[in-house]
Structure 1
Amino acid sequence: MPHPYAIRLARRSELRTVQQIENMADLVFRRVAMPWVLAMQPAPLPVLQEAYRRGWLWVAVDGINRPLGFALLTTVDGEAYLHQLSVLPRTAGRGIGSALIENACDAARAADHRTLLLSTYDGVPWNAPFYARRGFGIVPPGAYTRALRGLRQEEIRLGHPAWRRVLMRRAV
């Protein structure tokens, strides 16, 4: 039986809940021997606050309005960037992540962006392959702009192994 959900703009009072959802979603990385992900901090409150102010933070909610997942959009070098997409593990496989991606694509298009960029883990089923099935393609390192190289360096500083990460882009 399908589980109903809706997508709406996040409320200011839900910013900490969004961080909790990200932390809970990261628990699935235990399955693929990537424990360093569990030690990483969720999206910083200032980033969430800015996305909230811009109307670029959405939550998927259940029938009684409890958040089940979220999408956080920012920009990198003037390009729409899916900074974070997280869904509670207990709700995986219900189309929530896909719906949040489509919502982010719609918002990027409405803001006159032609593409949506993201960074994710390669070879992890719910990361790069998931996005590839939704129309994202890997950006070859030779096509990285200065800003994208900076994004990659920031990820390394935060503890992401560079060899496991890929940048992906989709037309919106």
Structure 2
Amino acid sequence: MTSSESARDWTLRLARPADAALMPSIERAASALFADDPDLAGLDFDDPWEEPQLVSLIRKGHCLVSHVGERMAGFLVSQPFRRELHIWEMDVHPDFQQRGIGAGLVRAAQVDARNSGFKALTLTTFRDLPWNGPFYERLGFEEVTALDAHPRLAGELANEADDGLPIARRCAMIHFLE
């Protein structure tokens, strides 16, 4: 970003079904950040969300996209689970990182969830990567340490372990909206 560009040269809005076609390429590009991590060497980061899955989630009304000009820069995909809104994926294309877009997407999801009557936002992430756990902590999330009280999140972490993610580095996080 040049000094003449605005610090906030991006916009965000609710996602539309047509946006799903662009999300997988952003997810692939953003996953390049994980390529140098030896614990993740065996994972296939070229296996993003599929367009029909994304369209189904978008139709639930709580997914967001961000644009810089005409180009989609990032997205957040979430799904309602009773009184919680779960963030499945949040990615910003590397060309647009470090502009506050990711934080803007999460903050907008917090506002949407609160206005929609949800009691909390949840997600699973890497606890140790700066753009994961510490990033979400700065936005008001805390690690769920009593997973027996959150069986859905415990189940998601178990699924991630089955998929080969290093479970010792993964955590569930929650942001209460009261």
User: What's the TM-score, normalizing by structure 1?
Assistant: 0.89
- Counterpart pick for 2:169 among 130, 143, 164: 164
- Counterpart pick for 2:55 among 29, 33, 49: 49
Aligned residue identity for 2:9: P
Return the alpha-carbon distance in structure 1 between the equivalents of residues 45 and 74 of structure 2: 20
Return the alpha-carbon distance in structure 1 between the equivalents of residues 173 and 147 of structure 2: 13
Q: Could you give the per-residue CA deviations for residues 9-44 of structure 1, whole angstroms, max 9, x where no partner exists?
A: 223222121011111100011243333454362223
Choose between structure 1 and 2: higher helix proportion.
1
User: 1:40 touches 1:158 (CA, 8 Å); kept in 2?
Assistant: no
Q: Which residue of 1 aligns with 2:139?
A: 134
Q: How far 1:143 sits from its partner (Å)?
A: 4.3
Deviates more, 1:38-47 or 1:70-79: 38-47
Q: How far 1:107 sits from its partner (Å)?
A: 1.4
Aligned residue identity for 1:53: R
User: 1:69 touches 1:96 (CA, 8 Å); kept in 2?
Assistant: yes
1:119 and 2:117 matched: no
User: 1:114 touches 1:171 (CA, 8 Å); kept in 2?
Assistant: yes
Q: Which residue of 1 aligns with 2:34?
A: 29
User: 2:79 touches 2:86 (CA, 8 Å); kept in 1?
Assistant: yes
1:61 and 2:86 matched: no
User: What's the TM-score, normalizing by structure 2?
Assistant: 0.87
5+ long unaligned stretches in structure 2:
none
3-state SS of the aligned residue for 2:154?
helix
5+ long unaligned stretches in structure 1:
none
- Counterpart pick for 2:15 among 7, 10, 14: 10
Q: CA RMSD in A?
A: 1.9
Q: How far 1:171 sits from its partner (Å)?
A: 1.9
